[in-house]
Structure 1
């Protein structure tokens, strides 16, 4: 399906968010059965407890958590992608604010600072 209709107007790519409890269970099961995603589990638990669950919406893949204030989540607008690279014990934060534009910023952080950097991002961006 095209992202443009017959008049060439933009149609955003969207995805429904997943429940936070389901996301936490997914990363917990990965840690138990496959590879270490404990830093991701800790971050998800922090988001669930420090912020109202309805404030942020998220979806996930193996090592990527996409967080947005939009529901449904626009995959290339106003979202923070957080990849936890367990082999390097590093986070990669990638903020996308506008479609068809490169990420507004991409940063890498040590595993121990994921929660701190997420909180700083929320404060900085005004979410």
Structure 2
């Protein structure tokens, strides 16, 4: 069984991306997504942790980092959001989606609705 991780508060996650941006990591799109989540009811229904350039979201806390999670990245070179849904610890995600930056938040909302989260 995978090790469980504790989620971070949405304020802490927001601070993480603010700090990265201030250090030149250019994670503005993920910061905007986190700020969007904080302003919706999703902030009470989903939980997350971060890595340098990724947001890992679950409907549980604590949660297994590779089980029933959505991994969100922003690819600067492609100017696109990447959503990967991992249902189980498999080599490939169950569902992968890629959307242009300008549709990222809208498509994230639809993706969460599709998962019924």
2:25 is the alignment partner of 1:24: no
Output the CA distance in 1 between the equivalents of 2:89 and 2:26.
32
Alignment correspondent of 1:3 = none
- String of CA shifts for 1:34-81, please: whole Å, max 9, x gaps: 122111111001111112533111000111000000111211211100
Q: Does 1:36 align with 2:33?
A: no
Report the CA distance shift for 1:123/1:32 in structure 2 as closer, same or farther (over 3 A).
Answer: same
1:82 pairs with 2:69: no
Gaps of 5+ in 2: none
Q: Please point out which of 2, 13, 26 is paired with 1:12.
A: 2
User: How many angstroms apart in 1 are the aligned matches of 2:103 and 2:4?
Assistant: 29
CA displacement at 1:95 relative to structure 2? 0.2
Unaligned runs of 5+ in 1: 1-10
When the two chains are superposed, the root-mean-square deviation of aligned CA atoms in Å is 1.5
What TM-score, normalized to structure 1?
0.84
Q: TM-score, structure 2 length as denominator?
A: 0.90
Instruction: Give how far 1:110 is off.
Output: 1.1
Q: Any conservation in 2 of the 1:57–1:67 contact (CA below 8 Å)?
A: yes
